[in-house]
Amino acid sequence: MTDLSICVPAYNAGRTLAATMRSILDQDIDAELVVLDNASSDETQSIARSFDDPRVRIFRNDHVLPIGDNWNATIQRSTRRLVKVVCADDVLLPGSLAAQLEVMADTAISISSAKFQVIDEGGAVVESGLGLPGLLGAQTAGAVVRTIVRAGPAEFGPTAAAMFRREHFDRVGGIRGDLVFPMDVDLFARIASLGRFFGMPGVLAAWRNSTFNLCSQTSTASKLIELLRFHHRIAGEYPQHIRYRDLLAADTRLLRTALHRANVRARAITVPGRSERLPR
């Protein structure tokens, strides 16, 4: 029995939950799988309970919790010393858990992560070998925090690529759900400050790019505002790691993204027959 809990917070995940759970249970690892159904209105609960496996523990909220609270509630139900959070539409690649457990055997490492791939709604690979720019191998907390701010949370990698220690999750106070889109890397940055970070070169997880996930259903403006607030909060909390030039690079990147999206919208408005709605 390994000392690992895989936590899957799920909300109306009927289209993808089976594939997510199968990718976890097919690993050659005896890990605990905790699934918390956030009072879904679709078949999420029945799909989760269709897996007849002693490693699976299923829970359901009485009412819908904010996403950050639901993630915290899922992790708090874990019973092992190591934790990996896998969103209910993402998947783990074969052998990923064994490889990451080997890295986490070094108790000086508080958190590790890996390269990832992007898959489409049907599971076909769109891109691969993404994430962890300049963060392969053993890294300091300062390097992790600066990269997250300068390159952006999306370039760092998805939640499913990371593994951390439950005691460190508890020490930093868990997920801060006030800023939704960077809330996972916000957690990772705080956990990294308690030890060492290790970036793995292998592709261990897949992030699903779909029209039905939270990211695609939220406006670009909302995401950019959250990221701006996130950069400045991290800079205030880790002034020993984040310099003015790091914050300036981050804000400039967001400004360029905003201008690009504005140009896309302007072209959509001026071209006859095209929708005025900004792609999300």
Determine contact, residues 116/206, Cβ cutoff 8 Å. Answer: yes
Task: Tell me what pLDDT residue 275 has.
Answer: 38
What CATH code would you report for 4-208?
3.90.550.10
Phi and psi torsions of 140, nearest 5° = -80, 165
**Mean pLDDT of all residues in the chain?**
91
pTM: 0.90
CA-CA distance, 117 to 202, in Å (whole number)? 10
Determine the average pLDDT of the residues in 174-197. Answer: 95
- Give 14's pLDDT tier (boundaries 50, 70, 90): very high
Task: Tell me what pLDDT residue 217 has.
Answer: 60
Pairing label, strands 163-165, 82-85: antiparallel
Q: Is the pLDDT of residue 213 over 70?
A: no
Task: Tell me what pLDDT residue 277 has.
Answer: 29
Would you list the domain boundaries of the chain? 4-208
Task: Tell me what pLDDT residue 258 has.
Answer: 83
- pLDDT tens for residues 78-100? 999 999 999 999 999 999 999 99
Q: Is the pLDDT of residue 167 over 90?
A: yes
Task: Tell me what pLDDT residue 216 has.
Answer: 57
CA-CA distance, 72 to 246, in Å (whole number)? 30
Task: Tell me what pLDDT residue 60 has.
Answer: 98
Q: Is the pLDDT of residue 143 over 90?
A: yes
